[in-house]
Amino acid sequence: MPTAAKTGNEAMAEAMRQINPDVVAAYPITPATEIVMIFASFVADGLVDTEYIPVESEHSAMSACVGASAAGARVMTGTSSQGLALMYEILPIASALRLPIIMSDVNRALSGPINIHCDHSDTMAARDFGWIQIFSENAQEAYDNLIQAVRIAEHPKVKLPTMVTTDGFIISHCLEKIEILEDAQAKQFVGERKAEVSLLDVEHPVTLGALDLPDYYFEHKLQVAEAMRQASQHILEIAKEFEQQTGRKYDLIENYKLDDAEIAIVALGSTAGTTKAVVDELRSKGVKAGLLKIRVFRPFPAEALAKALANVAAVAVLDRADSYSAQGGPVYTEISSALYGKTKAPKLINYVYGLGGRDVTIDDIRGVFSDLQKIDKMPTFNYFGVRE
């Protein structure tokens, strides 16, 4: 398999080139700009057959994606932070109309105060819009996840829009060596989109997006909820198929040295990589430390997670976003509810960290593990990396 040095953004653009979507509608925003900028050069150079729509805002980008996807096209876009926020109005329309739009989102702090660096507040605020959400630890995963996202979104039992995220600058701008599928192999893996209806099919005209009042709306929303429940098993099937092609294994969650762990961290995105380094270090000193990385945040892998954490004594959930709920970050509350009522469950504490691109160091993670060793003395809600 060919290898190349790519940043996260380049890796995602490369995946888009191989996917060769019918339509891309996008508006540039730091730190995601490069993804669609590099892709635009592929269009200009005739390397893809894509209709590229340079729209005037992200609201228009997602609206154009909805229209093109309803016409039966395979549609992709990329954005970040305020750009994703400007799409919020359209995101639940895409899922309600069951349009398998595929998005790269580079996680960046939501303003304000204005900031262009990484945290997960943009993606977490979009968690309840019926979009599948997949987090990446590094550029390789960003590439692999985006290729798989096409199949996940378009699976006939799923048909839900899907976003694949990387961490702003940390992954998006960091150069790594990654393995890339051969073009033909990628093309074969993603196949062609087979839309059941198309607004351009004048022989079989349909109405899409009609007013859906109290007598029908609820049933349509239940269909989305059920599709999300079904999605997990299909995400796993597609991961298996991807593994057969590449040897790279994917699951809803990744358990790193968790089997016999006494203390563990739950993290998403690039912090999982930092945590692995600390887990290795602690293991070499005989400390039974582990990591649970959440890859798929929507649908939330509650069962897998509760099972994986059942025998761990103390767990710290790291949230790179705050909910301002006075009840911990979004990942923490999800995990608490996943563990509720389980007879075997760890003691749980929460850390909000890394907001607005605040650096996450090996020392920070060492500190969390040392807190876990005295969890009985710890408050439930904590922060690290913030000045007192």
Longest distance between any two alpha carbons in the chain, whole Å: 70
- C-beta of 206 vs 362, nearer to another protein: 206
Beta-carbon contacts of 380 under 8 Å, excluding residues fewer than 6 positions away, are: 328, 348, 349, 350
Candidate residues 207, 244, 284, 343; the one interacting with another protein per rule CB under 8 A? 207
Strand partners, 177: 5
Instruction: Select 212 or 237, whichever has its Cβ closest to another protein.
Output: 212
Pairing of strands 253-256, 289-294: antiparallel
Q: How far is the CB of 80 from another protein (least distance, A)?
A: 28
Write the CB contacts of 357 (distance below 8 Å, at least 6 apart in sequence). 109, 115, 116, 117, 118, 119, 168, 169
Instruction: For another protein, give the closer residue by CB, 47 or 222.
Output: 222
Site string for another protein, 224-243 (x = CB under 8 A): --x-----------------
**Closer Cβ to another protein, 191 or 209, answer by number:** 209
Of the candidate residues 46, 56, 210, 326, the single one contacting another protein (CB under 8 A)? 210
- Cβ pair 97, 66 in contact under 8 A: yes
The answer to whether the CB of 287 falls within 8 A of the CB of 368 is no
Between the alpha carbon of residue 41 and those of residues 34, 58, 183, 222, 241, the distances in Å are: 10, 20, 18, 41, 31
Q: Does 98 bind another protein (CB under 8 A)?
A: yes
Compute the distance between CA of residue 297 and CA of residue 126 in angstroms, rounded to an integer: 11
Q: Which stretch binds another protein (CB under 8 A): 6-14, 77-85, 210-218, 255-263?
A: 210-218
What is the amino acid identity at position 191? G
Site string for another protein, 152-191 (x = CB under 8 A): -------x--------------------------------
Closest CB to another protein among 102 and 331? 102
76 DSSP β-pair partners? 24, 102
Buried b (16+ CB within 10 A) or exposed e, 61-70: bbbbbbbbbb
Is 340 a residue that touches another protein (CB under 8 A)? no
The CB-of-194 to another protein minimum distance in angstroms stands at 15
- Selected binder of another protein within 200, 222, 310, 386 (CB under 8 A): 222
Binder among 44, 206, 310, 386 for another protein (CB under 8 A): 206
Cα Rg of the chain (Å, integer): 21
Instruction: Give me the least distance between CB of 301 and another protein, in Å please.
Output: 24
Signed CA dihedral, 66, 68, 70, 74: sign only: negative
Interface characters, 26-65, with another protein (x: CB under 8 A): ----------------------------------------
Q: Specify the stretch interacting with another protein by CB under 8 A; choose among 81-89, 134-142, 220-228, 295-303.
A: 220-228
Residue 200 sits in the site that holds another protein (CB under 8 A)? no
- Vertex 56 angle, CA 54 and 60, to 5°: 90
Closest to another protein by CB, 152 vs 316, is: 152
- Select the residue interacting with another protein from 216, 229, 325, 337 (CB under 8 A): 216
* Residues in contact with another protein by the rule CB under 8 A: 96-99, 159, 196-197, 205-210, 212, 215-216, 218-220, 222-223, 226
